[in-house]
Amino acid sequence: MILLCVVTVGAYPVFWYLRRAPFFDSRPTDTKLGGLQWAFLAVYVMCLGSSFAHLPRDIRHSLQLALAVANLVVAFRVASILRSDFARTGRFIRVSGVGVFFLGCLYLQHVMNVAADTPGRKAKRKRDDASPVSPEVPRTATG
């Protein structure tokens, strides 16, 4: 995956978030991606365009900084969604902030792969004491 990031000139993380956004937004958590992945794409396109347009170095560096910040914002939002979903399903999988900071979507994909192999804790069904219980029908000598 690291090689894929290099070969795609950094576009892989952008498309990783775009492809997985419907999954993240479908999780029953308070945190959603919303349009962050699209903002990340817009900043990436501006940053890439600035390289070809031969803009002044200060502007290019500002756009690169904005791209790095956008990547971190989206990555930590996804980490928050995953943490909430893991807690809800009873999968006690740690999502490291250091891993998210340094590896972004590569680390998040690893965490999702671990989660796919980890069964969730099943909720124990409580028996409602107020529910009607069919009493045993006493047997008689005739039947």
Residue 137 has pLDDT above 60, yes or no: no
Question: What number is the average pLDDT over the span 88-95?
Answer: 92
Report how far apart the first and last C-alpha atoms of the chain are (Å, whole number): 73
Are the CB atoms for 43 and 66 separated by under 8 Å? yes
Q: What is the pTM of this model?
A: 0.78
Q: Tell me, what DSSP letter sits at residue 131?
A: S
Q: pLDDT for 7-45, tens place per residue?
A: 888 889 999 999 999 999 999 988 999 899 999 999 999
CA distance 59 to 30: 36
